[in-house]
Amino acid sequence: MKKTLFYTVLIAVPVSVVIFFIFTGNSPNIRDHNNENDMKNTEQIYLPSPEHEGKSFEEILNERRSERNFTDESLSKYELSQLLWAGRGVTDEERGFKTAPSAGATYPLDILVDVRNVRDLSPGIYRYDPYEHRLDMKKHGSERDAIYQASLNQESIKTAPVLFIMIGTYERITPRYGERGVRYTHIEAGHISQNIYLQATSMELGTVAIGAFEDETIKEILGTDAEPIYLMPVGRIEI
């Protein structure tokens, strides 16, 4: 009897630990489930390593504003790298934690980038992989004109050299939190948006968070089933 009990405990304990990590989302090296199509055969661009030093936090907060008017000047790959890292980059490689908080470390959001004018980077739509700090090409050629029309013809979307598109996969978070997970996804989008705002400000770039667009049209343009949450055009501020 004692021997049977010993083996039962020996099996049950590790199984319980695995189940705990699956449902809490706090397993070391946990990676987001890719809601997009298989990216293995797509073009992959590794980005420059992000910097971790800059202006004081108080200066950046004081200077942060929404900007809608951008020049035609291109962005560098380094600037794009820094903005993506600020929004959703990994800050704890062992546990997979990121720059913005996420309920239960479920990370239901992804960032797509419509690149129109970035030096040494082909125009197109890319998905940001925060674990590899790279861009995976989803579609060659910018879709900016179509996104502009689906976003009530807001000029900042059309003119910005890059457009960040936050998309949410509710199925990553609702198994744990139910319908409330949808709310948590939207809250997380706010965290990511503010990070991008502050990073842009620190580099003397401008951005604005946009929520007015035709959801289904944006999904069709991007070729995704995930829900579009936020659009953020980024560029050099026109004085």
Reported as a single tens digit per residue, the pLDDT across 156-192 is 999 999 999 999 999 999 999 999 999 999 999 999 9
Q: Which two tokens stand for residue 107?
A: 């990370």
22 vs 177 pLDDT, higher one? 177
pLDDT bracket for residue 31 (50, 70, 90): low
Q: What pLDDT score does 25 carry?
A: 43
Place of tokens 């125009």: 123
The region, left, alpha or beta by phi > 0 then psi within -120 to 50, assigned to residue 105 is left
Distance CA 202, CA 62 (A): 11
Q: What torsion do the CA atoms of 36, 37, 38, 40 make, to the nearest 10 degrees?
A: -80
Q: What angle do CA 196, 202, 208 make, to 5 degrees?
A: 40
Q: What pLDDT score does 38 carry?
A: 43
SS3 state at 128: strand
For the CA atoms of the chain, what is the radius of gyration? Answer: 20
Whole-prediction pTM value?
0.84
Burial class (CB in 10 A: 0-12, 13-18, 19+), 162: buried
pLDDT tens, residue by residue, 121-130: 999 999 999 9
The region, left, alpha or beta by phi > 0 then psi within -120 to 50, assigned to residue 78 is alpha
Q: Which residue type occupies 157?
A: I
Q: Could you tell me which residues are beta bridge partners of residue 51?
A: none
Task: Tell me if 189 sits within 8 A of 230, measured CB to CB.
Answer: yes
Residues contacting residue 70 through CB under 8 Å, at least 6 positions apart: 156, 159, 160, 161, 206, 233, 235, 236, 237, 238
